[in-house]
Amino acid sequence: MEKEHHPLVKLARETIEHYVRARKAISPPEELTPEMKLRAGAFVSLHKRGALRGCIGTIQPTSSNVAQEVIQNAISAATHDPRFPPVQASELEDLEISVDVLYPPEPIESIDELDPKRYGVIVESGRRRGLLLPDLEGVDTAEYQVKIARRKAGVSPHEPVQLYRFEVKRYH
């Protein structure tokens, strides 16, 4: 028996399945859950047999609500993540999907204010910005978390950066 998934995860799955098959986005549900009505950044992460298959999101809200944010980011995670080829219809049943709704980021003064299990990190240097979500497998130290975010931003280890931390509500 398949376990019941959160409505945001169901929305992401329906979006991806419809888009991969019909190349069209779906509309948000008529009845929005309380989480769907929020305005917040959101990330949609795809895994296939435990390995990352796509992850795209927004730090700040770009849409009128989280439902729209999830629809846009689900399509992007499945078809526009530059690290992976677009998801094919044959892969759909193997995808595990999670949705992270971001709380607003807050600037921090030091890496000591990070906890990679609790907080995600944003590294910013000029116009370059890299983000790493919290509580990722294999990311056990704040130093490693910042190193990955720097690499994603194209910022060298010696360049000065502004750090931000944020919390998420993760749905499976």
What strands, in cross-sheet order, belong to the sheet with 42-48? 51-57, 42-48, 95-102, 168-171
CA distances from 139 to 9, 32, 121, 135 (A): 24, 34, 12, 7
Describe the crossing of helices 7-22 and 66-79 by its angle, rounded to 10 degrees.
50
- Enumerate domains of the chain plus CATH numbers: 7-102 (3.30.700.20), 106-171 (3.30.1490.150)
When pLDDT is averaged across residues 139-153 and rounded to a whole number, the result is 97
pLDDT in tens, 4-60: 789 999 999 999 999 999 999 999 999 999 999 999 999 999 999 999 999 999 999
Residue 1 in this model has a pLDDT that exceeds 70 = no
Measured distance CA(54)–CA(111) in Å, rounded: 27
Residue 97 in this model has a pLDDT that exceeds 80 = yes
Residue 99 confidence (pLDDT): 98
Residue 2 in this model has a pLDDT that exceeds 90 = no
Q: What is the DSSP string of 113-171?
A: G--TTT-EEEEEETTEEEEE-SS-TT--SHHHHHHHHHHHHT--TTS--EEEEE-EEEE
pLDDT in tens, 98-128: 999 999 999 999 999 999 999 999 999 999 9
Measured distance CA(129)–CA(115) in Å, rounded: 19
Residue 74 confidence (pLDDT): 98
Residue 143 in this model has a pLDDT that exceeds 50 = yes
